[in-house]
Protein backbone atom coordinates (compact mmCIF):
# COMPACT_ATOMS: atom_id res chain seq x y z
CA UNK A 1 0.00 0.00 0.00
CA UNK A 2 1.27 3.47 -0.89
CA UNK A 3 2.66 5.45 2.01
CA UNK A 4 0.97 8.83 2.44
CA UNK A 5 1.36 12.05 4.37
CA UNK A 6 -1.31 14.76 4.40
CA UNK A 7 -0.32 18.39 4.92
CA UNK A 8 -2.21 21.56 5.58
CA UNK A 9 -0.77 24.34 3.41
CA UNK A 10 -0.67 27.73 5.14
CA UNK A 11 1.44 27.59 8.29
CA UNK A 12 2.87 24.15 7.46
CA UNK A 13 4.38 24.43 3.96
CA UNK A 14 4.34 28.20 3.59
CA UNK A 15 4.05 31.29 5.74
CA UNK A 16 0.52 31.99 6.92
CA UNK A 17 -1.28 35.33 6.78
CA UNK A 18 -4.42 36.48 8.54
CA UNK A 19 -5.01 38.57 5.38
CA UNK A 20 -4.91 35.37 3.23
CA UNK A 21 -2.32 34.37 0.65
CA UNK A 22 -3.85 36.00 -2.45
CA UNK A 23 -1.09 35.82 -5.07
CA UNK A 24 2.08 33.92 -5.93
CA UNK A 25 4.13 36.89 -4.66
CA UNK A 26 2.58 36.43 -1.19
CA UNK A 27 3.29 32.68 -1.14
CA UNK A 28 6.61 32.10 0.65
CA UNK A 29 7.80 28.66 1.73
CA UNK A 30 8.70 28.11 5.35
CA UNK A 31 12.42 27.35 5.75
CA UNK A 32 13.10 23.67 5.09
CA UNK A 33 9.57 22.74 4.01
CA UNK A 34 10.28 22.08 0.30
CA UNK A 35 13.27 19.95 1.26
CA UNK A 36 11.19 18.08 3.86
CA UNK A 37 8.63 17.20 1.17
CA UNK A 38 11.45 16.02 -1.08
CA UNK A 39 12.75 13.78 1.71
CA UNK A 40 9.28 12.30 2.15
CA UNK A 41 9.11 11.55 -1.57
CA UNK A 42 12.56 9.92 -1.57
CA UNK A 43 11.38 7.72 1.33
CA UNK A 44 8.44 6.53 -0.80
CA UNK A 45 5.68 8.82 0.49
CA UNK A 46 3.03 10.51 -1.57
CA UNK A 47 2.26 13.97 -0.21
CA UNK A 48 -1.25 15.42 -0.45
CA UNK A 49 -2.20 18.96 0.54
CA UNK A 50 -5.54 19.55 2.29
CA UNK A 51 -6.37 23.24 2.56
CA UNK A 52 -9.22 25.62 3.36
CA UNK A 53 -9.05 28.62 1.03
CA UNK A 54 -12.04 30.69 2.10
CA UNK A 55 -10.53 33.76 0.42
CA UNK A 56 -12.13 32.49 -2.79
CA UNK A 57 -15.59 32.33 -1.22
CA UNK A 58 -15.03 35.73 0.37
CA UNK A 59 -14.01 37.28 -2.95
CA UNK A 60 -10.41 38.08 -1.92
CA UNK A 61 -8.91 36.09 -4.81
CA UNK A 62 -10.05 33.83 -7.63
CA UNK A 63 -9.58 30.17 -8.47
CA UNK A 64 -7.16 31.31 -11.19
CA UNK A 65 -5.15 33.14 -8.52
CA UNK A 66 -5.13 29.97 -6.43
CA UNK A 67 -3.94 27.95 -9.43
CA UNK A 68 -1.07 30.42 -9.91
CA UNK A 69 -0.16 30.17 -6.21
CA UNK A 70 -0.14 26.38 -6.45
CA UNK A 71 1.95 26.50 -9.63
CA UNK A 72 4.57 28.46 -7.67
CA UNK A 73 4.35 25.98 -4.77
CA UNK A 74 4.83 23.04 -7.16
CA UNK A 75 7.81 24.78 -8.81
CA UNK A 76 9.54 25.55 -5.49
CA UNK A 77 9.04 21.98 -4.26
CA UNK A 78 10.16 20.55 -7.61
CA UNK A 79 13.31 22.68 -7.41
CA UNK A 80 14.02 21.02 -4.04
CA UNK A 81 13.60 17.60 -5.67
CA UNK A 82 10.08 16.86 -4.41
CA UNK A 83 6.50 16.71 -5.59
CA UNK A 84 2.99 17.14 -4.27
CA UNK A 85 0.83 14.26 -5.47
CA UNK A 86 -2.47 16.06 -5.10
CA UNK A 87 -4.20 19.07 -3.59
CA UNK A 88 -7.72 19.20 -2.22
CA UNK A 89 -9.17 22.65 -1.58
CA UNK A 90 -12.28 23.97 0.15
CA UNK A 91 -12.97 27.30 -1.59
CA UNK A 92 -16.06 28.10 0.47
CA UNK A 93 -16.60 30.88 2.98
CA UNK A 94 -16.92 29.73 6.61
CA UNK A 95 -20.69 30.28 6.66
CA UNK A 96 -21.35 28.30 3.45
CA UNK A 97 -22.25 25.13 5.34
CA UNK A 98 -20.26 22.90 3.00
CA UNK A 99 -18.99 19.46 3.97
CA UNK A 100 -15.44 20.08 2.80
CA UNK A 101 -14.32 22.93 5.06
CA UNK A 102 -12.04 21.59 7.77
CA UNK A 103 -12.75 20.46 10.46
CA UNK A 104 -15.35 18.61 8.36
CA UNK A 105 -13.85 15.65 6.53
CA UNK A 106 -15.08 16.13 2.96
CA UNK A 107 -11.61 16.84 1.55
CA UNK A 108 -10.30 13.64 3.12
CA UNK A 109 -13.21 11.71 1.63
CA UNK A 110 -12.23 13.12 -1.78
CA UNK A 111 -8.68 11.78 -1.32
CA UNK A 112 -10.01 8.40 -0.23
CA UNK A 113 -12.14 8.24 -3.39
CA UNK A 114 -9.20 9.28 -5.58
CA UNK A 115 -6.94 6.63 -4.04
CA UNK A 116 -9.51 3.90 -3.51
CA UNK A 117 -8.49 3.43 0.12
CA UNK A 118 -9.16 4.83 3.56
CA UNK A 119 -6.81 7.18 5.35
CA UNK A 120 -6.77 5.28 8.64
CA UNK A 121 -3.58 6.13 10.60
CA UNK A 122 -2.17 8.35 7.82
CA UNK A 123 -0.27 11.30 9.35
CA UNK A 124 -2.04 14.63 8.81
CA UNK A 125 0.22 17.57 9.70
CA UNK A 126 -1.43 20.86 10.55
CA UNK A 127 -1.05 24.02 12.57
CA UNK A 128 -4.66 24.59 13.63
CA UNK A 129 -7.24 22.91 15.81
CA UNK A 130 -9.49 22.34 12.79
CA UNK A 131 -6.67 20.38 11.06
CA UNK A 132 -6.30 18.13 14.11
CA UNK A 133 -10.06 17.66 14.47
CA UNK A 134 -10.42 16.80 10.78
CA UNK A 135 -7.60 14.24 11.03
CA UNK A 136 -9.02 12.65 14.17
CA UNK A 137 -12.57 12.51 12.83
CA UNK A 138 -11.45 10.60 9.71
CA UNK A 139 -9.12 8.22 11.57
CA UNK A 140 -5.87 9.88 10.48
CA UNK A 141 -2.99 10.50 12.88
CA UNK A 142 -3.17 14.20 13.84
CA UNK A 143 0.24 15.91 14.05
CA UNK A 144 0.83 19.51 15.12
CA UNK A 145 3.67 21.79 14.03
CA UNK A 146 4.55 24.98 15.91
CA UNK A 147 4.84 27.04 12.72
CA UNK A 148 1.97 29.22 11.53
CA UNK A 149 -0.75 29.15 14.19
CA UNK A 150 0.71 25.98 15.71
CA UNK A 151 2.21 27.38 18.90
CA UNK A 152 -1.05 29.14 19.78
CA UNK A 153 -2.95 25.94 18.93
CA UNK A 154 -0.62 23.89 21.16
CA UNK A 155 -1.33 26.15 24.14
CA UNK A 156 -5.10 25.78 23.62
CA UNK A 157 -5.41 22.07 22.79
CA UNK A 158 -8.57 20.48 24.18
CA UNK A 159 -8.18 17.43 26.41
CA UNK A 160 -9.16 14.98 23.64
CA UNK A 161 -6.26 16.17 21.45
CA UNK A 162 -3.66 16.81 24.16
CA UNK A 163 -1.78 13.64 23.14
CA UNK A 164 -0.96 14.66 19.55
CA UNK A 165 2.70 14.72 18.61
CA UNK A 166 4.11 18.26 18.31
CA UNK A 167 7.10 19.21 16.14
CA UNK A 168 8.86 22.52 15.63
CA UNK A 169 8.16 22.48 11.90
CA UNK A 170 7.56 20.21 8.91
CA UNK A 171 11.24 19.24 8.75
CA UNK A 172 11.11 18.16 12.41
CA UNK A 173 8.06 15.99 11.71
CA UNK A 174 9.80 14.39 8.71
CA UNK A 175 12.92 13.72 10.81
CA UNK A 176 10.79 11.93 13.42
CA UNK A 177 8.75 9.99 10.85
CA UNK A 178 11.77 8.78 8.90
CA UNK A 179 13.65 7.88 12.11
CA UNK A 180 10.78 5.48 12.93
CA UNK A 181 11.61 3.58 9.77
Residues assigned a catalytic role: 8, 10
Classified as helix, coil or strand, 87 is strand
CB atoms within 10 A of CB 76: 18
Distant-in-sequence, close-in-space partners of 136: CB < 8 Å, separation ≥ 6? 142, 160, 161
Distant-in-sequence, close-in-space partners of 120: CB < 8 Å, separation ≥ 6? 139, 140
Give the DSSP letter of residue 6.
E
Amino acid sequence: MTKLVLLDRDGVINEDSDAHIKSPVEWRPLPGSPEAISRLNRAGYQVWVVTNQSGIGRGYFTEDDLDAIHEKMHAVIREAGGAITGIRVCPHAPDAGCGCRKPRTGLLLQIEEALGRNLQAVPFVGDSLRDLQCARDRGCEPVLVRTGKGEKTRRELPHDLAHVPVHDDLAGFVDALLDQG
